[in-house]
Every structure is written in C-alpha cells, then in structure tokens.
Structure 1
C-alpha cells in the first residue's frame, strides 16, 4: 500500500499556496475583465477605441452606485431588493418637484443654485428613511430581509407610478442638468461621481473600524453581537441613500423622466456585486472587485450593442455569470480553507 498518498501536504507547500491563492482570489474579477476586454478588442471591429471605453464608464454609473449600497448590506449578512424602486421614486420625486411639463410643479428656488443642494439632500434623506424602515422591520421585528425589501420594492414602484399618474415629466432646471449631463475634462460628471463613491466607500470598508465590524457582523450573524443591529441599520440606510442619490443623478441627466427609469437595474446590480466577489453568505467582499464586476457587465453590454445583437443575449450572459460567480464563491471558500 502506498503510504505517501495519505500524507498531508507539507507546511512549506501550504505557505507557498497561500502566497498565490490570496492575491489571485482577491483580484480574479480584474483578471477576467482584462481578458474579456482584450478578447473583445481583438475580435470585434470598432470596439478598441476611446469612445467605447468612455461609454463603458458611463454605462456603469447608476448600476455602480446601486452596487456600492447593495454590497454594504450583503456584507452585513442581509439583502436589499428595494434599491431599484428607491431609485425610481427618487427620480420621479425630483422631476415632479422641479419639472415644468406634465404633472411637474415647476418649483424654482431663489437663488437658482439652491436647486442642487436642496433636492440632493431631500433625495438622500428620502432614501435613508426608506432604508431605516427596512432596517427596523429586519432588526427589531425580525422579519426576513428578502421579504421586507421585496415588499418595499413593490410598494415604492407603485408609489412612483401613482405619484406621476403614470406620466412623464420634463423641463428640469439647467442647474440640475449641468450636474447630470455636464462634463469635466471631457469626462461626464456622473462618471467622476461614480469613481468618487467607489473610492470613498472602498476606504471606509477597508480602513475604518466600521468596515471591519460590518464584515464581522455578516460573517457571524446573530443578535448576541454587540451593536450588530446598529451596523445593519446603517448599512440599510446607506443603501437607501445611495439608491436615492442614483435616482436623483439619473433624473438630472435625463430629458424625460418616467416612473420606469431604472427598470432592470436590480438584477444587473446584483450580478455586478456577486461577480465582484461579495459573498452571499455575508462577511466578505471588496468594492474594488465590485467596480470590476460593474465594468465587466458594461463591457459585455457595449460589445452586444456594437455587434447589433438582441438585448436578450445580455440577460442570458448575466444569468450565466451570476451562476458562475456563485459557484466560484464556493470554490474560493474551499481554497481559502486549504490555503489560509
């Protein structure tokens, strides 16, 4: 009998494995993104140009902002399905307040520059309050987060449609349009905002006690943890606030606002978060990986558009990528146990 096969791997081999396993697992989505961009550039005529890459960043803006908030909630061990409807309600509320056509009230503050800070603060407050209600039901009343936020998704979408009478609103102020449709150094303002949001919250997660405690809350869920409920509440409020901010920004850059803005973003956001390496089990995830996941989906979207393929192909690819990412998450957990 061969006794060598039953012997465990040596400590030296484990140490060598841990040296490569950690960095590769942490950055695998970036390696996939680079490989996909290279493949598209070599095989799709017209893909490798500055306009395409600028478009990928633009396409990533709103899903990216939603993904930051959703990542915080999932890392905390919870789920937030309401973000798409929070975005729609925030966009519709902004349009109803400022728009001059349809059911818009045409509010014009004096001086005009107040329109941006006042409406932005109002949108974020709206989203934060929705997140607070979601968190109260989850933390205090122990209702499953999936059920709570799914119900919120339906209620808030209905509120967006009802408040507008299912009509479009346009004629938003130029000051708001300057934020949503303006550019800095030929790069759209929302793109700069997207990068700033990822950098700011990435540092918060990686470098602050809040980020470390949020990960601990998700990895060891339970009421026995000191302050766990407060951390979950903050995560839900940040998710709601960021979703409302994305809705405000979307309304600011859209000529014609309808209650259906953002339809379909929920699944794309979920896909980007999972592909980006945030574990559905909670407690693990990096926003740098989520950013790569958002860019990957936008790159695939751009490639499909350039090739003139039906949008249905994007949904099929997204579904396949989500399934692959979930399987990869399980594989990564096994590898980390083998090479801690």
Structure 2
C-alpha cells in the first residue's frame, strides 16, 4: 500500500464515526417523516448534553486502558445531592443563597466535588492499592446507587431553584445553555487531550504503561487524576441531569452508562487504550441521540430502543476490534 493510500485509510478510520453520523442523518431525513427539521436537529443536540458530558469523563479513563463503571451512579448521586439541597418540593430542603445567582455556581461546585470524591476513591484503590479497575468501579456503581436510594428513601426532589433551572430555560442561538455547556466541555477537553502534556501522557499510558513509566512520566499521578476527573465530570453531568428534570429521583440516569460506553467506543476510543480523540466521542453521542429521536418519531415501542442500544454496544466493540486489526496491519 502506498503512503498516500495509507494516509487516506488512516483518515477514514480516525473519522469513521463522522461519516456514520452523516449517513444516518441523511437516511433518517429521507425515510423518517418529519425528521429533517431544524427543530429536530436542535433537539438532538439538546438531548445529548448529559450523555455527552458523561462520555468525556469515561473516555479519559478508557484511553488509559482502564475502566470506570461508576460514572452513571456518580451522576445520579450528584443530581440527588443538588436536588435535596436546592429543590423546594418533595425531599428538597429549599436552600437559597444571597444573592440568588450564587445558587447556580455553588450547586455546580457541590456536584463536581461529590463526583470528584468518588473518583478519588476509585483512583486510590485502583492505582494506589493496585486493585482491578473493573471490580472496583463496578462496586462503586452498586454502592453509590445504593447511597442514592438510602439518602432519598426512594422519594424524589422537585422544583429546582430558579437560578439553576435558568440554564435549561435560557437559550443562545436556539440551544439551551446546558447544550452549550456540553459543547464547551468537549472543546476544552479536546484541546487538553491534543495540546497538553497531560492529555498526551494519558494516551501514552494506554499505549504502553511500562514504556511511559520508563520515559520518566508520573504514571500513577496521571492515572489517579484521570479517575478524579472522570468522577468530577460525571458530577457535572449529574448537575445537568438535575436541570433537565428540575429535580432528582432515585432511578435518575439509569441506562446512561451503556450509552456512554457505546458513544466512546463508536467515537474511536479503543477499549484497549492508547487510541482516541474526544471530537469523535461527541459524534458518537450525536449518533446515538439521532437514533433515539428517529425511534421516537417512528413511534416504535420502548423495547425496540433497548434492543437497538444493546446491538449498538455490541457493534461498537466489534468495530473497535476491526479498527485495531486494520491499524496493526498498517503498522
């Protein structure tokens, strides 16, 4: 294979998810009634906000060759914490700050800190104690979700403070601020991964942890920081989730983890680590959101959604294996 053909193939592999997204949008626009509308595309971007932010944190861990199954439960815990403190109905305590605009940044800080604390615990046990990432984060997924149930008593918090809810109501260029927050997160995190030593070190660790350590890079510190960031970003996703629902319920966010995994892998982040870019993850999130929207417009039962999501996760893993095989033959 010539060097020119090799570059073309590598470009296609790196941007495959964007081609898939364009194909799916074109197909749905042609065959699904009422799909090709500005309002529908706006809804797709808006609906992908929470999943998109959660996928960023998950991608940061997966690119290192590790796993974090706790992000869904962490988001739920952050949302419930914000709901209990700043909702005025249900189990909400109705906390209000003065001036009132402080309620939004303080609630965001609380959500991020709650997520970061769980992430730091995961990082310490996995990196510091050398325990298995799959088992530790699976345990966190279970005990954090149990904590949400215990704290809430199975009840909901409703009527979120207006200063926080404002971010879901206020629009800029047709999109709510929550969608812009998700887009900003992708832009910033993409720049961090591509342009900073920390981002490059995470990818190097996923490619070959031993060689990265021998190169003088502080592997343990970077790995722990990746888990803390994953937890903190999941906390941000929980904050956005609370805004979308104007409160929190005990089962909030159930099922998001599998969609996040599908988005990350379809977006080009290898489950083996060392390969991946966050712009592709955003395309994967938009792809899943587009499919969900089309299913709703076609009026298919909810069971079809679960089947399709399961198949997408399987397809994502198969696609990752196929791409890795092609890259190995190109090397």
* 2:270 aligned to which of 260, 274, 279: 279
Aligned match for 1:306, one of 297, 314, 325: 297
What do residues 150-190 of structure 1 show as CA deviations (whole Å, max 9, x unaligned)? 11111111111111111111122111110133212321111
Equivalent residue, structure 1, for 2:257: 266
Number of positions where the alignment pairs a residue of Structure 1 with one of Structure 2? 328
Deviates more, 1:211-220 or 1:309-318: 309-318
Deviating 4+ runs (over 6 angstroms): none
> Over residues 67-97 of structure 1, what are the superposed CA-to-partner deviations in whole Å (9 max), with x where a residue is unaligned?
0000000001111000111111111111111
Give the Å deviation of 1:262.
0.6
CA shift for structure 1 position 316: 1.9
Displacement, 1:320? 2.1
**1:243 aligned to 2:239?**
no
- In structure 1, the partner of 2:94 is 106
- Aligned mates of 1:27, 1:151 — CA distance in 2: 35
- Once residues 302 and 106 of structure 1 are traced to their aligned partners in structure 2, the CA distance between those partners, rounded to angstroms, is 34
Residue pairs, 1:1-340, within 5 angstroms: 13-222=1-210, 225=213, 226-340=217-331
Separation (CA, whole Å) in 2 of partners of 1:315 and 1:102: 30
The whole-number CA distance in structure 2 between the counterparts of 1:185 and 1:36 is 24
Alpha-carbon distance in 1 for matches of 2:125, 2:157: 33
Q: CA deviation at 1:268?
A: 0.7
List gaps (5 residues or longer) in structure 2. none
Where does the alignment leave 5 or more consecutive residues of structure 1 unmatched?
A: 1-12
**CA distance in structure 1 between the aligned counterparts of 2:247 and 2:115, rounded to whole angstroms:** 22
> Structure 2 CA distance, aligned partners of 1:286 and 1:223?
21
Deviation (angstroms), 1:112: 1.0
In structure 1, the residue corresponding to 2:2 is in which secondary structure?
helix
**Following the alignment from structure 2 to structure 1, what is the Cα–Cα distance between the partners of residues 157 and 112?**
21
Rounded to whole Å, the distance in 2 between the matches of 1:202 and 1:302 is 26
| Residues 73, 235 of structure 1: 8 Å contact kept | yes
Q: Tell me if structure 2 keeps the 8 A contact 1:29–1:276.
A: yes
Q: 1:55 & 1:49 partners in 2: Cα distance?
A: 10
Report the aligned-residue RMSD.
Answer: 1.5
Structure 1 or 2, whichever has the larger Rg, is 1
CA distance in 2, matches of 1:223, 1:209: 16
More displaced 10-residue stretch of structure 1: 172-181 or 148-157: 172-181
Which region of structure 1 is more displaced relative to structure 2, 325-334 or 192-201?
325-334
Q: How far is the alpha carbon of 1:275 from its aligned partner?
A: 0.8
Distance 2:162 2:267 in 1: 36
| C-alpha distance in structure 2 between counterparts of 1:275 and 1:213, whole Å | 22
- For 1:171 and 1:328, the matched residues in 2 are separated by 43
